[in-house]
């Protein structure tokens, strides 16, 4: 690749760091039993978002949202890319590495990739690895920085950490066999951990949390090493650093669910000459906003919309203009809601859900609500779940009855201000009837706008049947087909919300 395109008005580098299954479990987000001085320092020099949301709490799918600016039902990465799952982003979708390649950037990814296919994600440099040796990761990143510096090319480097994902044991998080003297992880004892409200305080849970928190400490050391490498190469003053997690922690009530614990995540961004260091930004951002924001940072006009003919339009917007805001902006200045889209985790974990989150309320539309909510393999095999399921009845998962975790209704509505754990479902209550109608209509309009095949009425996809509707097909305005009264002639037909 040659020099950067002359269309670039601001020549700036990007370092994008992605933790795996982290959630907001960092010192700078208020967890006292985890020591994360390097990430905390990054936050103190930049902006920490408090209301940042991924679209889905599943690894590959969430990453694809970052890299495409599209929700998973738009980009095709419905679930995990690895192994027998083999979900992949559509060939016609435009991606972050593809765009930055066209801008002349030296693009690269080190560590966990977890999206595909390669033809759609054409990083120039790809050093894929499942290692937890964060020292190796930092060294590989420094080598990448050195080449970019020597060739005088702009760079966009993504680093996918494996930490703090579970390992293949029943309670481990990869805290063995790391011998790099730079990586000295403090011991955390089960008695000293903070048990988050999404979990029950049991010995099995504390055992796993101690291991999980140690893995987070190792991640923090890795972030410190890579930021030191950036400084050594003299590139810190020309580089935006973004630190995020793909989804929440690998425990019940979090990962693979669309509860806030799974989708409300850490986003920390440091830019050179940050004029308001230590900003805590309370405005709502979505992971579909990352690609527009990075293009805005790069000064790449004309890339607000995809250049590929069939690639869906990106609905996210750059949050660079509000990056250093420490107050909630008026509705005329910024969005106060986000949408989300989950369909699969592993291929056997089919449980499609769409959500709308406002600053106060969360509306879930569960498409396959008659199915039991599925367990991800790593969560089902965990000691924490074994401990929880063997407690005396009624079995609770944190403050949620287990039966409400497994059996969920077609619609859920939660008041996050008064019920942050999303336990009391307000759907169906007379007091919230008008709010339900409003949120349902907003969600369905978004589904229509994004051509979501999982906009269902009468048990079928409204979007896929559009040509039949135009030819006179009447689809009854009910979620599922009524097998006792299946007729469609004497019932109200579904119409797009006004």
Catalytic residue IDs: 59
Predicted confidence (pLDDT) at residue 329 exceeds the cutoff of 50: yes
377-393: per-residue pLDDT in tens? 999 999 999 999 999 99
Burial readout 177-203 (b: 16 or more C-beta within 10 A, e: otherwise): ebeeeebebeebebeebeebebbbebe
CATH 3.40.720.10 correct for 13-328: yes
> Which strand (E) or helix (H) includes residue 3?
none
406-426: per-residue pLDDT in tens? 999 999 999 999 999 999 999
Rounded distance, CA 6 to CA 208, Å? 52
34-77: per-residue pLDDT in tens? 999 999 999 999 999 999 999 999 999 999 999 999 999 999 99
- Provide the CB-side half-sphere exposure for 196 (13 A, CA): 27
Predicted confidence (pLDDT) at residue 8 exceeds the cutoff of 50: no
CB 386 within 8 A of CB 204: yes
Rounded distance, CA 97 to CA 1, Å? 13
Rounded distance, CA 481 to CA 476, Å? 8
Identify the CA nearest to 407 among candidates 418, 421, 395, 419: 395
pLDDT given for residue 368 in this prediction: 96
- Name the segment(s) of the chain with CATH classification 3.30.1120: 350-454
What CATH topology corresponds to 350-454? Arylsulfatase, C-terminal domain (3.30.1120)
Predicted confidence (pLDDT) at residue 198 exceeds the cutoff of 80: yes
How distant, in Å, are the alpha carbons of 121, 124, 221, 243 from that of 158? 12, 12, 17, 10
Helices (H) and strands (E) in the chain, counts: 13, 16
389-400: per-residue pLDDT in tens? 999 999 999 999
439-466: per-residue pLDDT in tens? 999 999 999 999 999 999 999 999 999 9
Q: Tokens at residue 123, please?
A: 């990083």
270-291: per-residue pLDDT in tens? 999 899 999 999 999 999 999 9
Question: Taking all residues of the chain, what is their mean pLDDT, rounded to a whole number?
Answer: 95
**Who's near 468: CB < 8 A, 6+ residues apart?**
none
- Name the segment(s) of the chain with CATH classification 3.40.720.10: 13-328
Full-model pTM: 0.96
pLDDT given for residue 10 in this prediction: 57
């Amino acid at each position: 690749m040659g020099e950067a395109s002359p269309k670039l008005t601001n020549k700036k580098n990007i370092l994008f760091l992605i933790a795996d299954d982290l959630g907001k479990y960092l010192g700078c987000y208020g967890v006292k039993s985890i020591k994360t001085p390097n990430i905390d320092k990054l936050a103190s020099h930049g902006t920490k978002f408090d209301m940042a949301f991924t679209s889905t709490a599943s690894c590959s799918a969430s990453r694809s949202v970052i890299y495409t600016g599209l929700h998973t039902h738009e980009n095709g990465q419905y679930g995990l890319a690895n192994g027998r799952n083999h979900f992949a982003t559509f060939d016609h979708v435009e991606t972050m590495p593809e765009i930055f390649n066209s801008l002349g950037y030296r693009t690269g990814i080190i560590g966990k990739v977890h999206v595909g296919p390669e033809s759609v994600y054409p990083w120039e440099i790809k050093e894929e690895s499942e290692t937890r040796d964060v020292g190796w990761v930092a060294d590989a990143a420094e080598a990448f920085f050195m080449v970019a510096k020597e060739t005088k090319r702009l760079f966009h480097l993504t680093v996918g950490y494996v930490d703090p994902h579970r390992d293949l044991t029943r309670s481990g998080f990869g805290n063995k066999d790391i011998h790099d003297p730079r990586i000295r992880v403090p011991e955390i004892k089960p008695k000293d951990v903070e048990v988050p409200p999404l979990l029950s305080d049991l010995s099995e849970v504390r055992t796993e949390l101690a291991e999980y928190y140690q893995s987070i400490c190792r991640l923090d050391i890795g972030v410190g090493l890579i930021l030191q490498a950036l400084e050594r190469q003299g590139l810190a003053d020309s580089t935006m650093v973004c630190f995020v997690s793909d989804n929440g922690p690998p425990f019940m009530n979090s990962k693979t669910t669309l509860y806030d614990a799974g989708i409300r995540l850490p986003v920390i961004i440091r830019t050179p000459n940050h004029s308001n260091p230590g900003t805590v930004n309370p405005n709502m951002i979505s992971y579909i906003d990352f690609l527009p924001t990075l293009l805005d940072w790069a000064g790449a006009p004309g890339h607000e919309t995809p250049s590929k003919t069939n690639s869906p339009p990106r609905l996210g917007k750059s949050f660079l203009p509000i990056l250093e805001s420490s107050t909630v902006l008026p509705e005329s200045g910024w969005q106060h809601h986000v949408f989300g889209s989950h369909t699969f985790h592993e291929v056997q974990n089919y449980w499609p859900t769409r959500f709308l989150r406002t600053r106060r309320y969360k509306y879930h539309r569960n498409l396959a609500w008659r199915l039991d909510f599925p367990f991800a393999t790593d969560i089902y095999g965990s000691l924490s779940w074994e401990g929880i399921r063997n407690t005396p009845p009624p079995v609770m998962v944190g403050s949620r009855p287990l039966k409400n975790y497994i059996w969920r209704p077609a619609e859920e509505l939660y008041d996050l201000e008064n019920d942050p754990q999303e336990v009391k479902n307000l759907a169906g209550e007379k007091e919230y009837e008008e709010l339900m109608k409003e949120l349902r209509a907003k969600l369905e309009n978004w589904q229509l706008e994004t051509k979501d095949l999982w906009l269902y009425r009468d048990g079928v996809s409204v979007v896929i049947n559009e040509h039949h509707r135009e030819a006179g097909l009447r689809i009854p305005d009910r979620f599922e087909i009524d097998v006792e009264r299946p007729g469609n002639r004497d019932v109200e037909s579904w119409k797009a919300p006004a």
